[in-house]
Chain A
Amino acid sequence: MSNPASDAPAGERDVALACAILKQRFGERLQTGKSIREQHGHTLSWLPNQPPDAVIFANDSQDVADIVSVCAEHKCPVIAFGVGSSLEGHLNAPQGGVCIDMSQMNQVLEVQADDLSVRVQPGVTRKALNTYLRDTGLFFPIDPGADASLGGMAATRASGTNAVRYGTMKDNVLSLRAVMADGREINTASRAKKTSAGYDLTRLLVGSEGTLGIITELTVKLHGIPESIAGGVCHFPDVESACRATIQTIQYGIPIARIELLDVSQVIASNAYSKLGLKELPTMFVEFHGSDSATAEQSELFGEIVRDCGGSDFEWTKDEAARNKLWQARHDAYWAARQMRPEAEAVITDACVPISRLADCVEETRKDIEANNFLAPMVGHVGDGNFHTMVLIDMNSPKEVAAAKEFSERLSARAIAMGGTCTGEHGVGQGKTRYLRDELGDTVDFMAMIKQAFDPDNILNPGKIF
């Protein structure tokens, strides 16, 4: 069962022994069946399946601490698993080891309405949290495409369509409890607004992709459900004019909550999958949150900007059903794209550039897609300068796989050359490790020193980021 990777410390790592000890402790909650291991070794990623040696379903933080303690003693890799919706092979087990499935740790522990915050276990998903909150007048705004777990979202510093108004996980996690590599649990901050003096451990753990500690509890910020939400759709003759409209909207200080772009190819995909009936032109979805009068005023102002920039057909509505249909379609963009070539896998890119360079970056990428004859729909969080292409390729064709990899590399290099990053929100995982050095140079070695200081035996999610 044990399959120590070649770079593991020789003669020390003993995954089989760790699993045997944990089996004694956890009984049926430790599973070694092939299919359950494979379910935990392959997420929404085009990387090959890399199953762990065992999967344990944790019930509480003591379980997590016990598992990590045993793994620490035997230098066994240990990986925390939420719902498996990450995109860069973050959760696969390239060096084997133990996967801790957090799905049973799914309790909302305490809504602190006065504090606009909530304490949750890491397995709570974003939709489950909002369902729980529905009678409180509060909501949690971060919305990656999938119904991800809060623990996973914190670990990958996730964002979504609301980031332009409400920020990302880095802005919305107030404090964490986490089990560190020695099996001890820490609490990173108190409930007070400003974390006590000292290094910002909360934000060091947010986005550390399970490599510095395993999140066992989170306190996240909540927001009041706006009195009024207005949303709409408009079309643009080209991506450049859509970007111009975005820049003007932000310049005027219009507090837009969501501003999302779909290219023609994605519009075709979403029309088919989500039955939208949109014109086949670059299309923008927008939403405004605030008082009744404010959202009406903002929608009118935005409409003027759209017309100034050559856009058309801007229509807005406060009707909840119509808005929900639109945003569900946006969240289903991944599935819609895959439906265009059902037998294919999607290689997803995640470039983020300064907004003024977004149009150039998208245009050059579009030409690259055409030159390669790819089927590759594109969606953009244009308010943040972040966009994704979903290159649909046949994994059985080495030629297509190689071409997609080269395309990804060119796109990452393009974004970095424009002052941006190869990953705006999906993270590094295994998929982006080689671009990290292009982007950060020697800084990567320095980050590795932090990893070494926190986890000297490299047991926490090894093979990721670095």
Chain B
Amino acid sequence: MVAGASSNDASELLQQQVLDSIARSRPLNIVGGNSKAFLGAVADGDALQTSNHRGVISYEPTELVITARAGTPLSEIEKLLAEHRQSLPFEPPRHSPDATIGGAVASALSGPARPFAGAVRDYVLGCRVINGQGQQLSFGGQVMKNVAGYDVTRLMTGARGTLGVLLDVSIKVLPVPEQQITLESTIELPAALATMQKMKGSNYPVTAACYHEGKLSFRFAGSEAGLAAAIADLGGDKTRDTSFWDELRDQQLAFFNTDQLWRLAVPSGTPALDIAGEWLYDWAGEQRWLKTTASADSIRETVARHGGYAQLYRAPESLQASAGVEHPLPDKIMQLHSSIKQSFDPHSIFNPGRLFPGL
């Protein structure tokens, strides 16, 4: 099955632009829908626009695999999948209607289903890229299992465009559950964290767990009859309305309306952290959003003590520059990052500094 009118293969053009940039030693900023421009430091450079390289290349619902060009809007892919009652299980956030599948893979951001269904990395089966020599290369494939050589596909996932230009990606999709139910209850934070953790290890088909504004919400896949035990166990109000989860996924809740936001990833079982501010707990407590005026150093120090890390997700440019977006890496790990970057992008033209300063 191949998509129609909006389909366009711009790989030759993109490859030519990359070759020109190499020749002129000019860095490139890879841009898809530009919906995540806030994420990471954007360096000087010419824009390499992928949004014209778009369209679904193949989709066989029976195979549970879709292959699309990187510039294809997520909305187009999700609409096509929904026609066959399938979806992207990792629920990538759509920061705007222009968000593309390439951007979703490059940023490796996952939605509320993440701790239960897995991350972007768990579903990307293969990709075609342009590397920093201007070559087109394919990695992985469209089959469920492939151990032919190094797992470069997952190296590209989350590299934020610093290793090359994603051209096409093949992604495993899953059937949408027949029915979904949300249970909501009002509860104090420590009890909410404990309940989320308990439910994560349970046999119940939990697909999301969030604590926000004193309210604990669980999403389940399955029928009311099948969930009788869970409903009796948890209590609270039932709803079939999924709008809360959509708004959480797309960061459209009022909470997210801010220009300074931290994203904390912590191990399961981490208690409430002693940092003053406004919190939202997703991923059964393992991903925490924080609005605070506390210093970057104190936040990173507190989170690191619990075995997690903190990312300055959104921030004014000045704070981004002084505090850095990511938690700094140990020296040896940074050296390996440089080696990888050097192998992929020897002329340092792709998204310099977008992931780490100097990379």
A contact residues vs B (CB 8 Å cutoff): 112-116, 156-157, 159, 163-164, 167-168, 170-171, 180, 184, 186-188, 190-194, 196-201, 203-204, 206-208, 212, 224, 226-227, 247, 250-253, 290-291, 293-294, 352-356, 381, 383-386, 419-428, 432, 436, 439-444, 446-447, 449-450, 452-454, 465
Contact = CB atoms under 8 A, between A and B. Distances in A.
Contact of B145 (A180, A384, A449, A453): A384
Given A354-B65, A436-B148, A197 B311 contact: yes
A352 to B, nearest CB: 5
Contacts of A432: 148
Interface of B: 60-65, 110, 114-115, 118-119, 121-122, 131, 135, 137-139, 141-152, 154-155, 157-159, 163, 174-178, 197, 200-203, 226, 229, 265-269, 283, 286-287, 307-309, 311, 325-327, 329-330, 332-333, 336-337, 339-340, 342-343, 355-356
A89 to B, nearest CB: 15
A421 B146 contact: yes
B154 A170 contact: yes
A440 B138 contact: yes
A190 B147 contact: no
Nearest to A164: B144
B147 A428 contact: yes
Contacts of A186: 330, 332-333, 336
Contacts of B144: 163-164, 352, 355, 383-386, 424
Contacts, number: 231
Nearest to B58: A419
Contact of A200 (B154, B266, B343): B154
Contact of A444 (B149, B176, B356): B149
B355 A196 contact: no
A193 B267 contact: yes
Contact of B158 (A191, A197, A420): A197
5 interchain residue pairs of minimum CB distance: A253-B175, A114-B269, A453-B339, A192-B265, A203-B154
Contact of B152 (A356, A419, A420, A447): A447
A413 to B, nearest CB: 14
A384 B139 CA distance: 18
B147 A198 contact: no
B306 to A, nearest CB: 9
A204 B151 contact: yes
Given A197-B355, A200-B155, A424 B147 contact: yes
30 contacts: A114-B197, A115-B268, A156-B147, A191-B308, A193-B265, A197-B309, A198-B329, A204-B154, A204-B340, A226-B203, A227-B203, A247-B62, A251-B61, A251-B62, A253-B176, A290-B203, A291-B229, A293-B226, A354-B63, A381-B145, A383-B144, A386-B145, A421-B146, A422-B148, A423-B147, A424-B145, A440-B149, A443-B149, A447-B150, A454-B336
A298 to B, nearest CB: 11
B148 A250 contact: no
A250 B226 CA distance: 20
A443 B62 contact: no
Contacts of A113: 201
Contacts of B135: 442, 446
A196 B158 CA distance: 10
Given A193-B115, A442-B135, A116 B268 contact: yes
Contacts of A442: 135, 137
Contacts of B226: 291, 293-294
A137 to B, nearest CB: 8
Given A159-B145, A426-B147, A196 B265 contact: yes
Contact of A208 (B114, B150, B330, B340): B150
Given A199-B158, A450-B152, 13 more contacts: A163-B144, A191-B267, A192-B286, A200-B121, A203-B121, A203-B154, A204-B340, A251-B175, A253-B178, A419-B142, A427-B147, A450-B150, A453-B343
Given A356-B62, A443-B138, A192 B308 contact: yes
A150 to B, nearest CB: 16
A163 B336 CA distance: 30
A182 to B, nearest CB: 9
Given A290-B203, A384-B145, A204 B62 contact: no
A114 B146 CA distance: 31
A252 B175 contact: yes
A192 B309 contact: yes
Given A190-B307, A251-B175, A419 B340 contact: no
